[in-house]
């Protein structure tokens, strides 16, 4: 399909016959798989399709002793789900809410399907959540059962919460059971085993019932719990299928390690509808049982888990990463996946890995490889597709491709933070034939928009998926009403559609609302939809008339007020200032006492920065500073001095803690030194890009640490926790 013939959606009129919304172009037959009429829960959906794929591998788990992946079939998982759901319905019948704190693993899938199949409310929780936020979750959701990995750290966390929290902190806590999953990270030494036993006794003293995962299977066998009887009783006790589907299925949190937002309520209908819509969208990719997906994003995120189930519909197996990024390269060489999911941070890291490998080669080889990349990139830009090149593929790209196992032919890319030059470089280097860009929010359960594999332009999110309507609306506060632009749709000469605005979504899988505990302790939720049933995403975008596709350009939360009633996008400013060779990351915010303030992470190495900035410059349409080259020699000397002194300081800290004061003085001197150069560089950019006075950076803060999940500056989906970073360094 040629780019100029692509058409993602069609324009239709709403009930008032005046506001126009965008729907996916599709025939009536393909608009529904009738999941809503066939199944009550995801558990029912999985039961049905696991029978079709009974003997095929489904979930792969790494054996830490052999470093190989061992797979459980669809049939194996179904058997385990039937056993655990029977146990829950029989032995935990009086329980209503169950939480899971775990890394990606097979048991997570088993428990999720079992909990939903048993009509209990699931609360997925990220595996390394802080105690403070876990207390909030226990109170808000009234968790009665918590499932977690059998480690000293996890048991200590629960004991501390129960023992050390005040009565006011735990006034709504109803925790009664702890289900322990076997620790798969490493074999416990004898001392650790004794410590775990001691902590288990502590749990029993505080009157928490402890259940081991394996014991649930033993109890099933001994008592011969009948799944058929349980299902018959459940059907007799419920009112009807429609009522079941509208009940709460899960309560999901949007949070990083250091931040927590209000819980999002999802119904069984929302989960089923999102999977159905995603399956219909994925049908154009011709997936089969020969495909394999590598999952490193946390499956407590609904977008990731619904993607796994949608892929399961086609018989695709999934393997889990043992931890984020560190083991990705090792894992994929063993698994050899055909499908890879890419968030911007992982794509950037892998791209930098390729660049670093190339940079270490001798000049002749380096020139040959870079020339091969340029040739293939040029052909891709001219023809809109990735063609084979006999010489370069054999000598260059097949070797790079082997870094991801050598079989990846489909990249599913999250649109957030991706740039054309980055994704194109990644696609060329790893020879990935098919790349699609996805868009979704926690509040929309899963992905709601996506591009086609035939589309070589990767700077947009395509069109809405089946049964999804989207529209753009004005934002009075930010002044979008002053820049209204319309175009005439080719299919309907009388239809005028707004080009710019805030994206609004209407579909069956938008969240039921935000969970609220009222004064009487009753759990209710507040709707996230407006009077017309639309959810306002907070993202700013515009429609591309040629394809009827949408491009996301910013977020409302990124806008800062620089003058009374005058707003500017911090994201836009960050893109312009980030071309400085000195800057690895930059966050711009408004400090009321100073003005526009830039929080900056200086680059770790000149070579890495020069390569990335050069790539960005080649792609950028912004005016580049004329005088910045004058700084290069000076910058290299400063950076080299800054990096070497900091490394020496870190080494001395590790060997001798008594020198902390002098070490800190050295770091401060280095930071002051590099800060001056960064300020000079930003001023050059400001002048040469003809920026307004209101866009000038008034204050620079050097951030002494990278953004990671461990320090809370990245969330678990590897996105920057902007508010947390600003809060931390504005003190």
| Burial letters 202-223, b for 16+ CB under 10 A, else e | bbeeeebeebebeebeebbeee
Calculate the alpha carbon distances from 148 to 126, 156, 162, 178 in Å.
Answer: 11, 12, 16, 8
Sorted by where each starts, the structural domains of the chain and their CATH numbers stand as: 3-31+310-556 (2.30.38.10), 35-237 (3.40.50.12780), 564-729 (no CATH)
Say what the alpha-carbon torsion angle 7, 511, 714, 180 is, to the nearest 10 degrees.
-130
Residue 444: helix, strand or coil by DSSP? helix
Q: Which helix (H) or strand (E) holds 695?
A: none
Q: Residue 122 forms beta bridges with which residues? A: 98, 250
pLDDT at site 614: 46
pLDDT per residue as tens digits for the range 417-449: 666 677 888 999 999 989 999 999 889 999 999
For residue 520, the model assigns a pLDDT of 54
| Best CA proximity match to 297, nearest among 260, 259, 261, 347 | 347
Of 701, 638, 700, the C-alpha closest to 670 is 638
Rounded-to-integer distance, Cα 53 and Cα 51, Å: 6
Q: What angle do CA 721, 722, 728 make, to 5 degrees?
A: 90
Q: What is the pTM of this model?
A: 0.80
Q: Which of 135, 133, 146 is nearest to 170 (CA)?
A: 135
**pLDDT, position 515:** 83
Model pLDDT, residue 216: 86
Where b means 16+ CB within 10 Å and e means fewer, 685-696 reads bbeebebeeebe
Residue 518: the pLDDT is 54
What is the C-alpha separation between 596 and 319, in angstroms, rounded?
45
CA 398/CA 390 separation, integer angstroms: 10
Residues 114 and 127: their CA atoms lie apart, in Å, by 20
Contact 495, 483 (CB under 8 A): no
| pLDDT one-digit tens code per residue, 167-185 | 666 667 888 898 988 876 5
Q: How far apart are CA 537 and CA 585, in angstroms?
A: 26
Q: Which parts of the chain have pLDDT scores under 70?
A: 1-7, 9-33, 164-171, 184-206, 220-246, 255-261, 322-326, 417-420, 477, 479-499, 517-523, 603-673, 716-718, 730-731
3-state DSSP assignment of residue 651? helix
pLDDT tens digit string along 613-626?
A: 444 444 443 344 44
- Please give the C-alpha separations between residue 18 and each of 1, 10, 15, 495, in angstroms, as whole numbers: 33, 15, 8, 9
pLDDT of residue 418: 63
| pLDDT tens track for 270-294 | 999 999 999 999 988 999 999 999 9
Q: Using CA atoms, how far apart are residues 412 and 342, in angstroms rounded to an integer?
A: 6
């Amino acid at each position: 399909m040629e780019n100029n013939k692509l058409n993602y959606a069609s324009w239709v009129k709403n009930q008032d016959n005046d506001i126009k919304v965008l729907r996916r172009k599709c025939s009536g037959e393909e608009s529904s798989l009738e999941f809503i009429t066939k199944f009550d829960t995801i558990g029912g959906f999985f039961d049905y399709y696991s029978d079709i794929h009974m003997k095929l591998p489904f979930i792969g788990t790494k054996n830490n002793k052999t470093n190989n992946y061992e797979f459980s079939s669809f049939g194996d998982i179904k058997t385990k789900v039937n056993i655990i759901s029977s146990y829950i319905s029989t032995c935990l019948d009086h329980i209503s809410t169950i939480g899971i704190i775990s890394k990606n693993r097979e048991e997570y899938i088993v428990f999720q399907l079992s909990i939903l199949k048993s009509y209990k409310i699931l609360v997925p929780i990220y595996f390394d959540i802080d105690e403070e936020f876990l207390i909030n979750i226990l109170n808000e959701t009234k968790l009665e059962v918590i499932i977690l990995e059998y480690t000293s750290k996890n048991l200590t966390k629960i004991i501390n919460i129960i023992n050390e929290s005040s009565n006011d902190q735990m006034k709504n806590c109803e925790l009664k059971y702890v289900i322990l999953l076997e620790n798969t990270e490493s074999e416990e030494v004898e001392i650790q085993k004794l410590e775990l036993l001691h902590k288990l006794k502590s749990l029993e003293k505080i009157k928490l019932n402890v259940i081991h995962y394996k014991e649930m299977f033993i109890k099933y066998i001994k008592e011969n719990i009948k799944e058929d009887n349980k299902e018959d009783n459940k059907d007799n006790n419920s009112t009807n299928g429609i009522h079941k589907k509208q009940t709460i299925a899960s309560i999901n949190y949007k949070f990083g390690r250091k931040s927590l937002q209000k819980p999002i309520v999802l119904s069984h209908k929302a989960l089923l509808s999102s999977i159905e819509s995603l399956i219909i969208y994925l049908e154009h990719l011709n997936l089969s049982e020969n495909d394999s997906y590598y999952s490193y994003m946390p499956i407590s995120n609904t977008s990731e888990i619904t993607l796994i189930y949608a892929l399961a519909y086609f018989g695709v197996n999934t393997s889990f990463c043992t931890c984020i990024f560190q083991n990705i390269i090792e894992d994929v060489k063993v698994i050899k996946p055909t499908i890879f999911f890419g968030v911007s941070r992982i794509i950037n890291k892998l791209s930098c890995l390729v660049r670093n490998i190339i940079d270490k080669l001798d000049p002749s080889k380096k020139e040959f490889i870079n020339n091969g990349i340029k040739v293939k990139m040029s052909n891709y830009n001219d023809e809109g597709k990735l063609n084979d090149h006999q010489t370069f593929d054999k000598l260059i790209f097949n070797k790079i491709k082997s870094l991801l196992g050598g079989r990846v032919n489909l990249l599913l890319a999250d649109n957030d933070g991706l740039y054309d030059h980055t994704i194109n470089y990644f696609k060329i280097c790893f020879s990935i034939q098919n790349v699609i860009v996805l868009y979704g929010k926690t509040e929309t359960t899963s992905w709601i928009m996506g591009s086609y594999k035939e589309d070589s332009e990767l700077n947009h999110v395509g069109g809405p998926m089946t049964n999804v309507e989207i529209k753009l609306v004005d934002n009075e506060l930010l002044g979008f009403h002053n820049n209204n632009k319309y175009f005439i749709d080719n299919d309907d000469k009388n239809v005028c559609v707004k080009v710019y605005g805030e994206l609004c979504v209407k579909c069956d899988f938008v969240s039921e609302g935000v969970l609220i505990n009222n004064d009487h302790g009753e759990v209710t939720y507040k709707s996230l939809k407006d009077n017309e049933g639309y959810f306002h995403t907070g993202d700013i975008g515009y429609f591309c008339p040629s394809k009827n596709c949408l491009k996301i350009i910013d977020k409302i939360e990124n806008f800062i007020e620089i003058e009374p009633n005058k707003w500017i996008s911090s994201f836009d400013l960050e893109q312009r200032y980030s071309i400085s060779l000195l800057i690895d990351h930059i966050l711009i915010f408004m400090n009321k006492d100073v003005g526009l303030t830039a929080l900056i992470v200086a680059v770790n190495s000149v070579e890495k920065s020069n390569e990335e900035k050069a790539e960005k410059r080649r792609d950028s349409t912004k005016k580049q500073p004329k005088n910045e080259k004058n700084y290069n020699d000076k910058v290299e000397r400063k950076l080299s001095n800054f990096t070497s002194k900091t490394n020496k300081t870190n080494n001395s800290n590790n060997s001798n803690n008594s020198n902390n004061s002098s070490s800190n003085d050295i770091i401060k001197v280095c930071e002051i030194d590099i800060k001056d150069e960064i300020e000079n560089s930003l001023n050059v950019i400001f002048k040469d890009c003809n920026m307004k006075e209101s866009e000038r950076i008034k204050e620079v803060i050097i951030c002494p640490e990278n953004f990671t999940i461990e320090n809370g500056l990245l969330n678990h989906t590897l996105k920057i926790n902007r508010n947390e970073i600003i809060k931390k360094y504005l003190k």
